[in-house]
Amino acid sequence: MRSDRVLGRSRKGQDGGDESATVRIENSFIPVDGVGEKTERSLWEAGVTHWDAFDPSAVGARQAENIESFVATAAERLDDGDAAFFRERFPSGSHWRCYENFREETCFLDIETTGLDQQRHDVTVVGLHTPGETTALVADRDLTAERLQRHLDDAKLLVTFNGKRFDVPFLESAFGVDVDVPHVDLMYPCRRLGLTGGLKRIERETGIDRDRTDLSGEDAVRLWREYERGDESALETLVSYNRDDTENLRALADRVTDRLDSDVFVAGE
């Protein structure tokens, strides 16, 4: 049975209303050596849905020892806000479980480039959104490795869409930056939920609005070229387009993690 004490929390959504909370780090046992999704599911079904509720008799002696050792260390690391620890311990496909713990210190990132080839093309705009603030770093203005790394270092969690294959490798190649926090690439949990295609298609399917529905990645390249030829308004449009991409990642993350919460606990309800 699902524990209401642990999982029946609420959080404030962007519109100020209450939303059901998603799975937190403290509900997770899969970072433990020797514990897979099957064992974790069995623990949840037995009512062990939080580290504090762990009963050593629920598993074998070796697994119990591993769980107790992990929880002792992880609880301290979580109190210290050590997100890098959980980046290493969680399977990459489960980094979304860190979202509820670090949502106020999450960096939502999206980049614009002149093409898809890291060796031949350039990064033109990097959008970074944290709750309450959106920053656009523009090439040849304020987009530098130092500024970019500072933003990444301030984050406890990174959220992108297709960022593991595109945005982050592009930035690593162009600026040598390092991402040392859990990274939630929303493209993969979206696929798990049956949401396929690009970001804008998924936005439409999940009811997320944007100001300029007529612009695409190809337009982003065109707008940059127009700006290079002296059209300042083209840069304003490009930055606005990037802002939509970046800020909408937060709305999508909220929807996706809420739906994943129901998905991972469905057998234990």
* CA gap 58, 61 in Å, rounded: 9
Measure the CA–CA gap between 51 and 175, rounded to whole angstroms. 40
pLDDT band of residue 78 (cuts 50, 70, 90) is very high
Q: What string of DSSP letters covers 40-77?
A: HHHHHHTT--SGGG--GGGS-HHHHHHHHHHHHHHHHH
pLDDT in tens, 160-170: 999 999 999 99
pLDDT of residue 15: 41
Phi, psi of 111 (to 5 degrees): -120, 155
Q: What integer is the mean pLDDT of 41-51?
A: 92
pTM above the 0.95 mark? Answer: no
Q: Name the band, by pLDDT with cuts 50, 70 and 90, for residue 6.
A: very low
Residue 64 CA, distance from chain mean position: 30
Residue with tokens 């609880």: 75
- DSSP designation for 33: T
- pLDDT score, position 261: 83
- DSSP secondary-structure letter at 205? H
Enter the tokens of residue 189.
Answer: 């949990």
Task: Considering only residues 7 and 211, tell me which one the structure prediction assigns the higher pLDDT.
Answer: 211
For residue 109, the SS3 value is: strand
- Cβ proximity of 128 and 246 under 8 Å: yes
Residue 95 is classified by DSSP as G
Q: What pLDDT does residue 5 have?
A: 32
The CB-based long-range contact list for 185-188 (8 Å cut-off, 24+ gap) reads 185/160, 185/161, 186/159, 186/160, 186/161, 186/249, 186/252, 186/253, 186/256, 187/161, 187/162, 188/93, 188/164
- CA 217, 222, 225, 231 torsion: positive or negative? negative
